[in-house]
Every structure is written in C-alpha cells, then in structure tokens.
Amino acid sequence: MLRIARKVHRMSGALLFVFFFIVATTGLILGWKKNTGGLILAKTHAGKSNDPKNWLPIDVLRQKAIEHAKQHVSADFDPKIDRIDVRPDKGMVKFVFVEGYWGVQIDATTGELLLMESRWADLTENIHDGSVIDYLLGTDGQFKLFYTSVMGVSLLLFTVTGFWLWYGPKDFKKSRGTSA
C-alpha cells in the first residue's frame, strides 16, 4: 500500500507541478489582494452622497462609465459590461467591462469619474480558476469545470497519499512491534 501511495503521489506531483504552482501562487496573491496598497485590488472610492434618492439613473451612469472608458482606454473600446457593483455606503457604482479587465468607479450622484482601473485581481482570479482559458478560447466554462475538477481531485489525492506516506511507516513499525 505504501509503495502504491508513493508512486501515485510522485506521478501526480510530477504531472501537475506547473498547475499546482499556478494555483498556489495565484491563491497567495488573491489572499493578499486587499493588503497590497492598491497594486492588485484598487481602493474603493467614495462618491458625494450615499443616499440613493440623490443618484443618477443606472442607465445614465452606465453611459458615463462607457464614455470614461472610451476616453481613457481607447475610442474603439468595447462597451460590453461584465458586471455592475453598487456600493450604497460609498455612493459609488463600479462598472466592470469584459474587455481587458477594465473597471470604472463612478460617483453615483454626479457621474464623475472616481477611478479608472486595471482589475488585476480579476485577471488573477481567472488564472487561478482556469476561466482565463475559457475567455481566450471563447468557450462557456467547459475548461474551468474540467480544470477545477482535475485540480480538486488531485489535491484530495495528494492529501490522502501524503497522509499515508507519513502515517504508513509509523503504522507498519507499530504493527511489527518496534518503536517509532
């Protein structure tokens, strides 16, 4: 049993080394993203009012976000929005675009640009979970599902075989009546 565990552990480790390295590195970066001084995750800025009665309609804010993106990135910027993040306590609305991991923080009251950002945390997360490959291939999550399944099963397998490689010799010595 110990020989089988060692062989499975060694082979899967060798085959998946690069992927484990990527998952570990990006996981570490994601864990630290809020503590990087805006390097990986931009600071959330505050607008003039946190009372939604004073805010512009969401469609007006969306249009202003697109204008700001075209002005700061390029005139032919693709305005397709991935998600809208409303921060009532900050009086700010964040528009995240599909193209190039760009984000725009807009004052919900005035539509004024608070921040134009490269969303490095989103890119890192997409590398971490494999969805960056789906994005590049234009697929609908199939690679991410495959990748996370392989990595999850591999991590479980590594845990079980690693435990057995640690515990097995102790159990073997104990069953033979020798001291550990």
Same structural domain, 35 and 56: no
Contact present, 109 and 56 (Cβ < 8 Å): yes
In the chain, % helix, strand, coil (3-state, to 5) comes to: 60, 15, 25
Q: Is residue 180 part of a domain?
A: no
Same structural domain, 14 and 25: yes
Question: Considering 118, 134, 156, which residue would you say is the last residue of a domain?
Answer: 118
What per-residue confidence (pLDDT) applies to 3?
78
DSSP 17-69: HHHHHHHHHHHHHHHHGGGSTTSSSPPPP--S---GGGSPPHHHHHHHHHHHH
Same structural domain, 107 and 142: no
Same structural domain, 27 and 73: no
pLDDT one digit per residue (tens) for the chain, 180 residues: 767 777 777 777 777 888 989 999 999 999 999 998 888 999 999 999 999 999 999 999 999 999 999 999 998 999 999 999 999 999 999 999 988 899 999 999 999 999 999 999 999 999 999 999 998 898 989 999 999 999 999 889 888 887 877 776 666 666 666 554
Full residue range of the structural domain in which residue 105 is found: 43-118
Q: Is residue 11 part of a domain?
A: yes
